[in-house]
Structure 1
Amino acid sequence: MSKTSTDMIGKVTDSNQQHTTSIISDIKSLVKGIVLISNVLPVLTGLALALYFTNASLAENWNVILLTLIGSTLVMAGALMLNNWYEVDLDKEMQRTEKRPTVTGSIPLKMVLTMGISTTILGFILLLFTTFEATVYAFIGWFTYVVLYTFWSKRKYTLNTIIGSVSGAVTPLIGWAAIESAYHVVPIVLALILFIWQIPHTFAIAIRRCDEYKAAGVPMLPVVCGVEVTKRQALIYIACLLPLPLFLTSLGTAFVVLASLLNVGWLALGISGLFTKDNLKWANRNFFYSLNYVIILFGMMIVFTGF
Protein backbone atom coordinates (compact mmCIF):
# COMPACT_ATOMS: atom_id res chain seq x y z
CA MET A 1 0.00 0.00 0.00
CA SER A 2 1.35 3.41 -0.97
CA LYS A 3 2.00 6.22 1.48
CA THR A 4 -0.71 8.29 -0.26
CA SER A 5 -3.30 5.56 0.28
CA THR A 6 -2.26 5.17 3.91
CA ASP A 7 -2.57 8.91 4.49
CA MET A 8 -6.03 8.93 2.88
CA ILE A 9 -7.21 6.05 5.06
CA GLY A 10 -5.81 7.83 8.11
CA LYS A 11 -7.65 11.03 7.23
CA VAL A 12 -10.93 9.15 6.68
CA THR A 13 -10.50 7.35 10.01
CA ASP A 14 -9.79 10.63 11.82
CA SER A 15 -12.80 12.22 10.14
CA ASN A 16 -15.06 9.33 11.22
CA GLN A 17 -13.74 9.52 14.77
CA GLN A 18 -14.34 13.27 14.90
CA HIS A 19 -17.85 12.79 13.52
CA THR A 20 -18.61 10.11 16.11
CA THR A 21 -17.22 12.31 18.89
CA SER A 22 -19.33 15.21 17.64
CA ILE A 23 -22.50 13.09 17.66
CA ILE A 24 -21.83 11.86 21.19
CA SER A 25 -21.13 15.42 22.33
CA ASP A 26 -24.38 16.64 20.73
CA ILE A 27 -26.42 13.90 22.39
CA LYS A 28 -24.85 14.64 25.78
CA SER A 29 -25.72 18.29 25.31
CA LEU A 30 -29.23 17.43 24.14
CA VAL A 31 -30.01 15.38 27.26
CA LYS A 32 -28.01 17.73 29.52
CA GLY A 33 -25.68 14.94 30.67
CA ILE A 34 -24.88 16.21 34.17
CA VAL A 35 -28.52 17.06 34.86
CA LEU A 36 -29.60 13.61 33.70
CA ILE A 37 -27.02 11.84 35.88
CA SER A 38 -27.92 13.93 38.93
CA ASN A 39 -31.55 12.87 38.49
CA VAL A 40 -30.81 9.17 37.94
CA LEU A 41 -28.76 8.98 41.17
CA PRO A 42 -31.80 9.57 43.45
CA VAL A 43 -33.72 6.90 41.51
CA LEU A 44 -30.92 4.45 42.29
CA THR A 45 -30.93 5.63 45.91
CA GLY A 46 -34.67 5.05 46.15
CA LEU A 47 -34.20 1.53 44.81
CA ALA A 48 -31.35 0.80 47.22
CA LEU A 49 -33.25 2.06 50.25
CA ALA A 50 -36.42 0.20 49.31
CA LEU A 51 -34.45 -3.05 49.04
CA TYR A 52 -32.78 -2.30 52.37
CA PHE A 53 -35.94 -1.49 54.34
CA THR A 54 -38.03 -4.30 52.87
CA ASN A 55 -35.23 -6.89 53.11
CA ALA A 56 -35.82 -7.64 49.44
CA SER A 57 -33.21 -9.58 47.50
CA LEU A 58 -31.07 -7.75 44.96
CA ALA A 59 -30.69 -10.93 42.92
CA GLU A 60 -34.45 -11.53 42.80
CA ASN A 61 -35.20 -7.94 41.78
CA TRP A 62 -32.43 -7.29 39.26
CA ASN A 63 -34.93 -7.14 36.38
CA VAL A 64 -37.07 -4.55 38.19
CA ILE A 65 -33.99 -2.50 39.03
CA LEU A 66 -32.81 -2.58 35.43
CA LEU A 67 -36.24 -1.66 34.03
CA THR A 68 -36.60 1.16 36.55
CA LEU A 69 -33.19 2.68 35.85
CA ILE A 70 -33.48 2.43 32.07
CA GLY A 71 -37.13 3.47 31.98
CA SER A 72 -36.72 6.47 34.26
CA THR A 73 -33.56 7.56 32.44
CA LEU A 74 -35.40 7.48 29.12
CA VAL A 75 -38.35 9.45 30.51
CA MET A 76 -36.00 12.10 31.93
CA ALA A 77 -33.95 12.21 28.73
CA GLY A 78 -37.15 12.65 26.73
CA ALA A 79 -38.23 15.54 28.96
CA LEU A 80 -34.85 17.22 28.63
CA MET A 81 -34.87 16.86 24.85
CA LEU A 82 -38.35 18.40 24.67
CA ASN A 83 -37.09 21.23 26.86
CA ASN A 84 -34.23 21.85 24.42
CA TRP A 85 -36.60 21.67 21.45
CA TYR A 86 -38.99 24.24 22.92
CA GLU A 87 -36.38 26.64 24.29
CA VAL A 88 -34.20 26.96 21.20
CA ASP A 89 -35.04 30.67 20.93
CA LEU A 90 -33.92 31.27 24.52
CA ASP A 91 -30.80 29.16 24.11
CA LYS A 92 -29.68 31.34 21.21
CA GLU A 93 -29.47 34.30 23.60
CA MET A 94 -27.43 32.59 26.31
CA GLN A 95 -23.70 31.89 26.19
CA ARG A 96 -23.93 28.66 28.16
CA THR A 97 -26.51 27.19 25.75
CA GLU A 98 -25.61 28.73 22.40
CA LYS A 99 -23.68 25.63 21.31
CA ARG A 100 -26.47 23.15 21.91
CA PRO A 101 -27.27 21.09 18.79
CA THR A 102 -30.74 22.63 18.62
CA VAL A 103 -29.13 26.05 18.27
CA THR A 104 -26.29 25.10 15.93
CA GLY A 105 -28.61 23.00 13.79
CA SER A 106 -26.42 19.90 13.99
CA ILE A 107 -29.56 18.00 14.99
CA PRO A 108 -32.74 19.21 13.22
CA LEU A 109 -35.54 20.41 15.50
CA LYS A 110 -38.04 17.94 14.03
CA MET A 111 -35.66 15.11 14.86
CA VAL A 112 -35.22 16.43 18.42
CA LEU A 113 -39.01 16.56 18.85
CA THR A 114 -39.38 13.02 17.50
CA MET A 115 -36.57 11.75 19.71
CA GLY A 116 -38.02 13.44 22.78
CA ILE A 117 -41.49 11.97 22.26
CA SER A 118 -40.24 8.50 21.30
CA THR A 119 -37.79 8.29 24.20
CA THR A 120 -40.48 9.40 26.65
CA ILE A 121 -42.99 6.81 25.42
CA LEU A 122 -40.42 4.00 25.49
CA GLY A 123 -39.43 4.98 29.03
CA PHE A 124 -43.02 4.86 30.26
CA ILE A 125 -43.58 1.47 28.59
CA LEU A 126 -40.57 0.03 30.42
CA LEU A 127 -41.69 1.54 33.74
CA LEU A 128 -45.13 -0.05 33.35
CA PHE A 129 -43.36 -3.40 33.68
CA THR A 130 -42.32 -2.38 37.22
CA THR A 131 -45.26 -0.89 39.14
CA PHE A 132 -48.04 1.49 38.25
CA GLU A 133 -47.12 3.72 41.22
CA ALA A 134 -43.56 4.19 39.95
CA THR A 135 -44.93 5.07 36.51
CA VAL A 136 -47.30 7.64 38.03
CA TYR A 137 -44.43 9.38 39.85
CA ALA A 138 -42.43 9.42 36.63
CA PHE A 139 -45.38 10.96 34.79
CA ILE A 140 -45.77 13.63 37.49
CA GLY A 141 -42.10 14.52 37.07
CA TRP A 142 -42.30 14.55 33.28
CA PHE A 143 -45.53 16.56 33.15
CA THR A 144 -44.28 19.10 35.67
CA TYR A 145 -40.99 19.64 33.87
CA VAL A 146 -42.26 19.66 30.29
CA VAL A 147 -45.72 21.23 30.58
CA LEU A 148 -45.85 23.23 33.80
CA TYR A 149 -42.22 24.39 33.79
CA THR A 150 -40.97 24.46 30.17
CA PHE A 151 -44.17 25.28 28.28
CA TRP A 152 -45.93 27.43 30.84
CA SER A 153 -44.11 29.04 33.78
CA LYS A 154 -40.46 29.53 32.81
CA ARG A 155 -41.13 32.49 30.51
CA LYS A 156 -43.76 34.09 32.77
CA TYR A 157 -43.11 33.73 36.50
CA THR A 158 -40.26 33.75 39.01
CA LEU A 159 -42.06 30.79 40.58
CA ASN A 160 -40.78 28.71 37.67
CA THR A 161 -37.93 27.58 39.94
CA ILE A 162 -40.31 26.17 42.55
CA ILE A 163 -42.54 24.55 39.93
CA GLY A 164 -39.56 22.96 38.21
CA SER A 165 -38.28 21.61 41.53
CA VAL A 166 -41.27 19.27 41.76
CA SER A 167 -40.02 17.28 38.77
CA GLY A 168 -36.68 16.48 40.41
CA ALA A 169 -38.27 15.70 43.76
CA VAL A 170 -40.16 12.63 42.51
CA THR A 171 -37.03 10.72 41.43
CA PRO A 172 -36.43 8.78 44.70
CA LEU A 173 -40.16 8.00 44.81
CA ILE A 174 -39.85 6.32 41.40
CA GLY A 175 -37.05 4.06 42.62
CA TRP A 176 -38.72 3.17 45.91
CA ALA A 177 -42.16 2.59 44.39
CA ALA A 178 -40.71 0.11 41.90
CA ILE A 179 -40.03 -2.18 44.88
CA GLU A 180 -42.77 -1.22 47.34
CA SER A 181 -45.30 1.57 47.85
CA ALA A 182 -43.56 4.88 48.60
CA TYR A 183 -45.97 5.65 51.42
CA HIS A 184 -43.06 5.63 53.86
CA VAL A 185 -41.26 8.39 55.75
CA VAL A 186 -37.87 7.78 54.11
CA PRO A 187 -38.78 8.31 50.42
CA ILE A 188 -41.05 11.22 51.38
CA VAL A 189 -38.18 12.94 53.21
CA LEU A 190 -35.86 12.27 50.28
CA ALA A 191 -38.38 13.95 47.99
CA LEU A 192 -38.55 16.94 50.35
CA ILE A 193 -34.75 17.20 50.42
CA LEU A 194 -34.55 17.24 46.63
CA PHE A 195 -37.41 19.71 46.29
CA ILE A 196 -35.81 22.17 48.71
CA TRP A 197 -32.26 21.56 47.43
CA GLN A 198 -33.11 22.45 43.85
CA ILE A 199 -34.28 25.97 44.74
CA PRO A 200 -31.01 27.44 46.17
CA HIS A 201 -29.09 25.39 43.60
CA THR A 202 -31.07 27.00 40.78
CA PHE A 203 -30.80 30.43 42.40
CA ALA A 204 -27.02 30.07 42.28
CA ILE A 205 -27.18 29.32 38.55
CA ALA A 206 -29.53 32.27 38.01
CA ILE A 207 -27.12 34.65 39.78
CA ARG A 208 -24.18 33.33 37.77
CA ARG A 209 -26.09 33.81 34.52
CA CYS A 210 -28.20 36.79 35.49
CA ASP A 211 -27.22 38.92 32.50
CA GLU A 212 -27.91 36.07 30.10
CA TYR A 213 -31.33 35.36 31.57
CA LYS A 214 -32.12 39.07 31.38
CA ALA A 215 -31.08 39.20 27.71
CA ALA A 216 -33.23 36.14 26.98
CA GLY A 217 -36.20 37.62 28.84
CA VAL A 218 -36.45 34.80 31.37
CA PRO A 219 -37.93 36.10 34.68
CA MET A 220 -35.55 34.39 37.08
CA LEU A 221 -35.61 35.76 40.63
CA PRO A 222 -32.34 37.77 40.48
CA VAL A 223 -33.47 39.30 37.19
CA VAL A 224 -36.83 40.46 38.58
CA CYS A 225 -36.10 41.06 42.27
CA GLY A 226 -32.32 41.46 42.41
CA VAL A 227 -29.41 39.41 43.68
CA GLU A 228 -29.75 40.42 47.33
CA VAL A 229 -33.33 39.19 47.53
CA THR A 230 -32.29 35.96 45.82
CA LYS A 231 -29.48 35.36 48.32
CA ARG A 232 -31.85 35.86 51.26
CA GLN A 233 -34.40 33.47 49.82
CA ALA A 234 -31.68 30.91 49.09
CA LEU A 235 -30.64 31.08 52.74
CA ILE A 236 -34.20 30.40 53.90
CA TYR A 237 -34.47 27.28 51.77
CA ILE A 238 -31.05 26.03 52.89
CA ALA A 239 -32.15 26.47 56.52
CA CYS A 240 -35.24 24.35 55.78
CA LEU A 241 -32.93 21.40 55.10
CA LEU A 242 -31.52 21.42 58.65
CA PRO A 243 -34.17 19.29 60.42
CA LEU A 244 -34.69 16.75 57.63
CA PRO A 245 -31.81 14.35 58.51
CA LEU A 246 -33.49 13.84 61.90
CA PHE A 247 -36.27 11.98 60.08
CA LEU A 248 -33.71 9.56 58.65
CA THR A 249 -32.38 8.12 61.92
CA SER A 250 -33.21 4.67 60.55
CA LEU A 251 -30.14 5.08 58.34
CA GLY A 252 -27.93 5.31 61.42
CA THR A 253 -26.37 7.97 63.60
CA ALA A 254 -23.29 8.32 61.41
CA PHE A 255 -25.43 9.22 58.41
CA VAL A 256 -27.48 11.75 60.37
CA VAL A 257 -24.31 13.43 61.64
CA LEU A 258 -22.69 13.58 58.20
CA ALA A 259 -25.87 14.88 56.57
CA SER A 260 -26.24 17.51 59.29
CA LEU A 261 -22.65 18.65 58.78
CA LEU A 262 -23.32 19.04 55.07
CA ASN A 263 -26.37 21.16 55.90
CA VAL A 264 -24.47 23.32 58.40
CA GLY A 265 -21.68 23.85 55.90
CA TRP A 266 -24.14 24.97 53.26
CA LEU A 267 -25.92 27.22 55.76
CA ALA A 268 -22.61 28.90 56.63
CA LEU A 269 -21.98 29.45 52.93
CA GLY A 270 -25.48 30.88 52.55
CA ILE A 271 -24.96 33.28 55.45
CA SER A 272 -21.64 34.43 54.01
CA GLY A 273 -23.54 35.48 50.89
CA LEU A 274 -25.33 38.18 52.89
CA PHE A 275 -22.03 39.92 53.59
CA THR A 276 -20.10 39.44 50.36
CA LYS A 277 -19.87 42.00 47.58
CA ASP A 278 -18.52 39.51 45.06
CA ASN A 279 -21.82 37.92 44.13
CA LEU A 280 -20.43 35.97 41.20
CA LYS A 281 -17.73 34.30 43.32
CA TRP A 282 -20.29 33.45 45.98
CA ALA A 283 -22.73 32.06 43.41
CA ASN A 284 -20.00 29.86 41.93
CA ARG A 285 -19.09 28.48 45.36
CA ASN A 286 -22.75 27.93 46.19
CA PHE A 287 -23.36 26.15 42.88
CA PHE A 288 -20.47 23.72 43.28
CA TYR A 289 -21.27 23.11 46.95
CA SER A 290 -24.90 22.32 46.13
CA LEU A 291 -23.89 19.99 43.31
CA ASN A 292 -21.49 18.08 45.54
CA TYR A 293 -24.07 18.16 48.34
CA VAL A 294 -26.63 16.10 46.46
CA ILE A 295 -24.05 13.66 45.07
CA ILE A 296 -22.45 13.07 48.48
CA LEU A 297 -25.75 12.88 50.38
CA PHE A 298 -27.47 10.40 48.08
CA GLY A 299 -24.26 8.51 47.47
CA MET A 300 -23.84 8.08 51.24
CA MET A 301 -27.33 6.61 51.47
CA ILE A 302 -26.39 3.93 48.97
CA VAL A 303 -23.15 3.21 50.82
CA PHE A 304 -24.87 3.04 54.20
CA THR A 305 -27.40 0.52 52.90
CA GLY A 306 -24.67 -1.65 51.36
CA PHE A 307 -26.28 -1.64 47.92
Structure 2
Amino acid sequence: MLKVLTELKYLFKRFVIIANAAPAVLGFFIALRYHDAYFTDYWLDFILLVVGALMIVGGALTLNNWLEADVDRLMERTKNRPTVTGTIPMPIILLIGIVLSFVGEVLLWLINWEVALYGFIGWFTYVVVYTMWTKRRFTWNTHIGSISGAVTPMMGWAVIDSTFHVIPISIFIIMFLWQMPHTYAIAIRKQEDYTNSGLQMLPVVKGKRVTIRRNAIYIALLLFVPLMVRGYSSLFYILITILNVAWFIIALAGFKATNIKKWANILFASSLAYLLLMYTLYVVFA
Protein backbone atom coordinates (compact mmCIF):
# COMPACT_ATOMS: atom_id res chain seq x y z
CA MET A 1 0.00 0.00 0.00
CA LEU A 2 2.82 2.38 0.90
CA LYS A 3 4.53 1.66 -2.42
CA VAL A 4 1.32 2.45 -4.31
CA LEU A 5 0.95 5.76 -2.48
CA THR A 6 4.56 6.61 -3.30
CA GLU A 7 3.99 5.91 -6.98
CA LEU A 8 0.81 8.02 -6.99
CA LYS A 9 2.74 10.83 -5.29
CA TYR A 10 5.14 10.94 -8.23
CA LEU A 11 2.34 10.49 -10.76
CA PHE A 12 0.20 13.34 -9.43
CA LYS A 13 3.19 15.56 -8.55
CA ARG A 14 1.78 16.06 -5.04
CA PHE A 15 2.95 19.63 -4.47
CA VAL A 16 1.99 20.70 -7.99
CA ILE A 17 -1.56 19.35 -7.69
CA ILE A 18 -2.05 21.17 -4.39
CA ALA A 19 -0.52 24.39 -5.74
CA ASN A 20 -2.87 24.30 -8.74
CA ALA A 21 -6.05 23.39 -6.86
CA ALA A 22 -5.51 25.73 -3.90
CA PRO A 23 -6.12 28.95 -5.91
CA ALA A 24 -9.61 27.67 -6.74
CA VAL A 25 -10.35 27.41 -3.01
CA LEU A 26 -8.87 30.86 -2.37
CA GLY A 27 -10.87 32.34 -5.23
CA PHE A 28 -13.99 30.89 -3.62
CA PHE A 29 -13.29 32.49 -0.24
CA ILE A 30 -12.37 35.85 -1.78
CA ALA A 31 -15.74 35.90 -3.55
CA LEU A 32 -17.52 34.68 -0.44
CA ARG A 33 -16.10 37.54 1.66
CA TYR A 34 -16.50 40.17 -1.04
CA HIS A 35 -20.19 39.40 -1.54
CA ASP A 36 -20.87 38.87 2.18
CA ALA A 37 -22.23 35.42 1.37
CA TYR A 38 -22.67 32.58 3.85
CA PHE A 39 -20.60 29.43 3.60
CA THR A 40 -23.60 27.37 4.70
CA ASP A 41 -25.36 28.35 1.47
CA TYR A 42 -22.50 27.00 -0.63
CA TRP A 43 -21.05 24.11 1.37
CA LEU A 44 -22.05 21.47 -1.15
CA ASP A 45 -20.72 23.52 -4.07
CA PHE A 46 -17.50 24.00 -2.11
CA ILE A 47 -17.04 20.24 -1.72
CA LEU A 48 -17.72 19.74 -5.42
CA LEU A 49 -15.20 22.49 -6.19
CA VAL A 50 -12.43 21.00 -4.06
CA VAL A 51 -12.92 17.43 -5.25
CA GLY A 52 -13.55 18.47 -8.86
CA ALA A 53 -10.50 20.75 -8.97
CA LEU A 54 -8.23 18.11 -7.46
CA MET A 55 -9.49 15.50 -9.92
CA ILE A 56 -9.26 17.59 -13.07
CA VAL A 57 -5.82 18.93 -12.11
CA GLY A 58 -4.71 15.42 -11.19
CA GLY A 59 -6.02 14.14 -14.50
CA ALA A 60 -4.18 16.85 -16.43
CA LEU A 61 -0.92 16.15 -14.59
CA THR A 62 -1.29 12.41 -15.17
CA LEU A 63 -1.83 12.92 -18.90
CA ASN A 64 1.14 15.29 -18.93
CA ASN A 65 3.28 12.50 -17.44
CA TRP A 66 1.95 10.00 -19.97
CA LEU A 67 2.71 12.32 -22.87
CA GLU A 68 6.19 13.24 -21.63
CA ALA A 69 7.46 9.83 -20.56
CA ASP A 70 10.21 10.00 -23.19
CA VAL A 71 11.68 13.28 -21.91
CA ASP A 72 11.06 12.54 -18.22
CA ARG A 73 13.55 9.68 -18.35
CA LEU A 74 16.21 12.18 -19.47
CA MET A 75 15.82 14.44 -16.44
CA GLU A 76 17.08 13.83 -12.93
CA ARG A 77 14.09 15.44 -11.24
CA THR A 78 11.53 13.29 -13.09
CA LYS A 79 13.31 9.94 -13.22
CA ASN A 80 11.22 8.47 -10.38
CA ARG A 81 7.87 8.93 -12.05
CA PRO A 82 6.06 5.64 -12.70
CA THR A 83 5.93 6.49 -16.40
CA VAL A 84 9.73 6.20 -16.34
CA THR A 85 10.20 3.35 -13.85
CA GLY A 86 7.39 1.28 -15.36
CA THR A 87 5.89 0.41 -11.98
CA ILE A 88 2.46 1.38 -13.31
CA PRO A 89 1.64 0.22 -16.87
CA MET A 90 1.27 3.07 -19.35
CA PRO A 91 -2.29 2.06 -20.40
CA ILE A 92 -3.34 2.25 -16.73
CA ILE A 93 -1.76 5.71 -16.40
CA LEU A 94 -3.62 6.86 -19.51
CA LEU A 95 -6.88 5.47 -18.12
CA ILE A 96 -6.31 7.21 -14.76
CA GLY A 97 -5.71 10.51 -16.51
CA ILE A 98 -8.84 10.25 -18.66
CA VAL A 99 -11.12 9.11 -15.81
CA LEU A 100 -9.92 11.78 -13.38
CA SER A 101 -10.27 14.49 -16.02
CA PHE A 102 -13.79 13.42 -17.00
CA VAL A 103 -15.13 12.93 -13.47
CA GLY A 104 -13.53 16.18 -12.31
CA GLU A 105 -15.17 18.10 -15.13
CA VAL A 106 -18.56 16.51 -14.37
CA LEU A 107 -18.30 17.54 -10.72
CA LEU A 108 -17.48 21.12 -11.72
CA TRP A 109 -20.44 21.11 -14.13
CA LEU A 110 -22.73 20.18 -11.24
CA ILE A 111 -21.86 23.57 -9.69
CA ASN A 112 -22.52 25.66 -12.79
CA TRP A 113 -21.44 25.98 -16.39
CA GLU A 114 -18.96 28.81 -15.76
CA VAL A 115 -16.97 26.82 -13.19
CA ALA A 116 -16.90 23.88 -15.62
CA LEU A 117 -15.82 26.17 -18.47
CA TYR A 118 -12.78 27.41 -16.58
CA GLY A 119 -11.97 23.86 -15.53
CA PHE A 120 -12.01 22.78 -19.17
CA ILE A 121 -9.95 25.79 -20.31
CA GLY A 122 -7.32 24.99 -17.71
CA TRP A 123 -7.25 21.31 -18.66
CA PHE A 124 -7.20 21.91 -22.43
CA THR A 125 -4.49 24.58 -22.40
CA TYR A 126 -2.26 22.46 -20.14
CA VAL A 127 -2.70 19.04 -21.74
CA VAL A 128 -3.23 19.91 -25.40
CA VAL A 129 -1.85 23.38 -26.17
CA TYR A 130 1.01 23.37 -23.64
CA THR A 131 2.13 19.74 -23.38
CA MET A 132 1.28 18.48 -26.89
CA TRP A 133 1.69 21.53 -29.13
CA THR A 134 4.14 24.05 -27.72
CA LYS A 135 6.43 22.73 -24.98
CA ARG A 136 8.74 20.93 -27.40
CA ARG A 137 8.65 23.65 -30.07
CA PHE A 138 8.50 27.20 -28.66
CA THR A 139 10.02 29.12 -25.76
CA TRP A 140 6.68 30.86 -25.23
CA ASN A 141 5.19 27.55 -24.10
CA THR A 142 5.40 29.01 -20.58
CA HIS A 143 2.79 31.62 -21.49
CA ILE A 144 0.37 28.86 -22.51
CA GLY A 145 1.02 26.93 -19.34
CA SER A 146 0.42 30.10 -17.36
CA ILE A 147 -3.12 30.37 -18.71
CA SER A 148 -4.04 26.99 -17.25
CA GLY A 149 -2.80 28.05 -13.82
CA ALA A 150 -4.37 31.50 -13.99
CA VAL A 151 -7.94 30.26 -14.52
CA THR A 152 -8.07 28.21 -11.31
CA PRO A 153 -8.98 31.13 -8.97
CA MET A 154 -11.68 32.11 -11.45
CA MET A 155 -13.22 28.65 -10.96
CA GLY A 156 -13.57 29.41 -7.25
CA TRP A 157 -15.01 32.89 -7.80
CA ALA A 158 -17.50 31.55 -10.36
CA VAL A 159 -19.10 29.37 -7.67
CA ILE A 160 -20.41 32.57 -6.05
CA ASP A 161 -20.72 35.05 -8.91
CA SER A 162 -19.84 35.73 -12.53
CA THR A 163 -16.15 36.29 -13.21
CA PHE A 164 -16.95 39.35 -15.32
CA HIS A 165 -15.72 41.38 -12.38
CA VAL A 166 -12.52 43.34 -11.87
CA ILE A 167 -11.32 41.33 -8.85
CA PRO A 168 -11.18 37.84 -10.43
CA ILE A 169 -9.83 39.40 -13.63
CA SER A 170 -7.05 41.12 -11.66
CA ILE A 171 -6.19 37.85 -9.92
CA PHE A 172 -6.09 36.11 -13.31
CA ILE A 173 -3.61 38.71 -14.59
CA ILE A 174 -1.47 38.41 -11.45
CA MET A 175 -1.42 34.62 -11.70
CA PHE A 176 -0.55 34.77 -15.40
CA LEU A 177 2.34 37.21 -14.91
CA TRP A 178 3.54 35.48 -11.73
CA GLN A 179 3.97 32.11 -13.38
CA MET A 180 6.60 33.32 -15.86
CA PRO A 181 9.25 34.32 -13.26
CA HIS A 182 8.29 31.32 -11.13
CA THR A 183 8.73 28.89 -14.03
CA TYR A 184 11.87 30.58 -15.37
CA ALA A 185 13.43 30.34 -11.91
CA ILE A 186 12.80 26.58 -11.96
CA ALA A 187 14.21 26.34 -15.50
CA ILE A 188 17.43 28.13 -14.46
CA ARG A 189 17.80 25.93 -11.36
CA LYS A 190 17.26 22.80 -13.45
CA GLN A 191 18.86 24.01 -16.69
CA GLU A 192 20.93 20.87 -17.18
CA ASP A 193 17.81 18.74 -16.98
CA TYR A 194 15.98 20.87 -19.53
CA THR A 195 19.01 20.92 -21.83
CA ASN A 196 19.14 17.11 -21.75
CA SER A 197 15.40 16.83 -22.36
CA GLY A 198 15.31 19.11 -25.40
CA LEU A 199 12.29 21.01 -24.10
CA GLN A 200 12.22 24.59 -25.38
CA MET A 201 12.60 26.48 -22.12
CA LEU A 202 13.71 30.11 -22.35
CA PRO A 203 16.96 29.85 -20.33
CA VAL A 204 18.07 26.90 -22.45
CA VAL A 205 17.28 28.47 -25.84
CA LYS A 206 17.87 32.20 -25.23
CA GLY A 207 20.21 32.11 -22.27
CA LYS A 208 20.07 33.27 -18.68
CA ARG A 209 20.54 37.00 -19.36
CA VAL A 210 17.51 37.14 -21.65
CA THR A 211 15.54 35.26 -18.99
CA ILE A 212 16.57 37.78 -16.32
CA ARG A 213 15.34 40.65 -18.50
CA ARG A 214 12.04 38.91 -19.14
CA ASN A 215 11.61 38.27 -15.42
CA ALA A 216 12.04 41.97 -14.68
CA ILE A 217 9.46 42.92 -17.33
CA TYR A 218 6.77 40.53 -16.08
CA ILE A 219 7.25 41.50 -12.44
CA ALA A 220 7.26 45.20 -13.37
CA LEU A 221 3.87 44.72 -15.02
CA LEU A 222 2.52 43.47 -11.69
CA LEU A 223 3.00 47.01 -10.32
CA PHE A 224 0.12 48.22 -12.50
CA VAL A 225 -2.42 45.52 -11.65
CA PRO A 226 -3.64 47.13 -8.37
CA LEU A 227 -4.69 50.20 -10.39
CA MET A 228 -7.56 48.24 -11.92
CA VAL A 229 -8.92 46.93 -8.60
CA ARG A 230 -11.83 48.79 -7.01
CA GLY A 231 -13.57 48.48 -3.66
CA TYR A 232 -10.59 47.69 -1.42
CA SER A 233 -9.19 49.88 1.36
CA SER A 234 -6.17 52.14 0.90
CA LEU A 235 -4.10 49.82 3.06
CA PHE A 236 -4.63 47.00 0.56
CA TYR A 237 -3.17 49.09 -2.27
CA ILE A 238 -0.23 50.21 -0.14
CA LEU A 239 0.63 46.67 1.00
CA ILE A 240 0.26 45.02 -2.41
CA THR A 241 2.38 47.77 -3.98
CA ILE A 242 5.09 47.18 -1.37
CA LEU A 243 4.87 43.46 -2.15
CA ASN A 244 5.23 44.09 -5.89
CA VAL A 245 8.14 46.50 -5.42
CA ALA A 246 9.96 44.06 -3.13
CA TRP A 247 9.69 41.26 -5.70
CA PHE A 248 10.75 43.65 -8.48
CA ILE A 249 13.90 44.48 -6.51
CA ILE A 250 14.70 40.77 -6.26
CA ALA A 251 14.22 40.49 -10.03
CA LEU A 252 16.57 43.43 -10.65
CA ALA A 253 19.21 41.77 -8.45
CA GLY A 254 19.58 39.19 -11.20
CA PHE A 255 21.34 41.73 -13.42
CA LYS A 256 24.18 42.03 -10.90
CA ALA A 257 24.22 38.45 -9.65
CA THR A 258 27.52 36.62 -10.00
CA ASN A 259 25.90 33.30 -9.13
CA ILE A 260 22.81 33.09 -11.32
CA LYS A 261 21.66 29.75 -9.93
CA LYS A 262 21.78 31.09 -6.37
CA TRP A 263 19.78 34.12 -7.45
CA ALA A 264 17.26 31.80 -9.18
CA ASN A 265 16.83 29.92 -5.90
CA ILE A 266 16.02 33.21 -4.17
CA LEU A 267 13.63 34.19 -6.97
CA PHE A 268 11.87 30.83 -6.72
CA ALA A 269 11.47 31.02 -2.93
CA SER A 270 10.30 34.63 -3.14
CA SER A 271 7.75 33.69 -5.81
CA LEU A 272 6.09 31.28 -3.37
CA ALA A 273 6.12 33.90 -0.61
CA TYR A 274 4.73 36.47 -3.04
CA LEU A 275 1.81 34.29 -4.05
CA LEU A 276 0.92 33.41 -0.46
CA LEU A 277 1.02 37.07 0.65
CA MET A 278 -0.91 38.25 -2.41
CA TYR A 279 -3.78 35.85 -1.75
CA THR A 280 -3.70 36.73 1.94
CA LEU A 281 -4.19 40.41 1.08
CA TYR A 282 -7.08 39.65 -1.28
CA VAL A 283 -8.82 37.47 1.31
CA VAL A 284 -8.26 39.74 4.31
CA PHE A 285 -9.31 42.96 2.60
CA ALA A 286 -12.22 41.52 0.58
The TM-score with structure 1 as length reference comes to: 0.90
Give the CA deviation at 1:227: 0.5
Question: 1:156 aligned to 2:137?
Answer: yes
For 2:69 and 2:165, locate their aligned partners in 1 and report how far apart those are by CA, in whole Å. Answer: 40
Query: Which residue of the other structure, out of 210, 214, 218, is the alignment partner of 1:229?
Result: 210
Partner of 1:139: 120
Tell me if structure 2 keeps the 8 A contact 1:45–1:301. no
Tell me if structure 1 keeps the 8 A contact 2:10–2:82. yes
1:269-304 per-position Cα deviation (integer Å, ceiling 9, x unaligned):
110100112111011111111122112221343344
Give the CA deviation at 1:119: 0.4
For 1:31 and 1:251, locate their aligned partners in 2 and report how far apart those are by CA, in whole Å. Answer: 37
Q: Which runs of 5+ in 1 are unaligned?
A: 1-19
CA RMSD of aligned residues (A): 1.3
Write the mapping of 1:218-257 to structure 2, written as runs, cut at 5 A: 218-257=199-238
Question: 1:185 aligned to 2:148?
Answer: no
One-letter amino acid of the counterpart of residue 34, structure 2: F
1:225-260 per-position Cα deviation (integer Å, ceiling 9, x unaligned):
111001111110010111213333534333333222
Tell me if structure 2 keeps the 8 A contact 1:42–1:171. yes
Tell me if structure 2 keeps the 8 A contact 1:41–1:298. no
Question: 1:129 aligned to 2:110?
Answer: yes
Tell me if structure 2 keeps the 8 A contact 1:75–1:124. yes
Question: 1:76 aligned to 2:57?
Answer: yes
One-letter amino acid of the counterpart of residue 73, structure 2: K
Give the CA deviation at 1:34: 1.4
Give the CA deviation at 1:23: 2.0
Query: Which residue of the other structure, out of 68, 81, 87, is the alignment partner of 1:106?
Result: 87
Q: Which runs of 5+ in 2 are unaligned?
A: none
Query: Which residue of the other structure, out of 167, 181, 184, is the alignment partner of 1:200?
Result: 181
Give the CA deviation at 1:204: 0.6
Aligned residues: 286
For 2:32 and 2:143, locate their aligned partners in 1 and report how far apart those are by CA, in whole Å. Answer: 31
Query: Which residue of the other structure, out of 22, 33, 46, is the alignment partner of 2:14?
Result: 33
SS for the counterpart of 2:229 is helix
Tell me if structure 1 keeps the 8 A contact 2:33–2:283. no
The structure with more radius of gyration: 1
For 2:226 and 2:17, locate their aligned partners in 1 and report how far apart those are by CA, in whole Å. Answer: 25
The TM-score with structure 2 as length reference comes to: 0.96
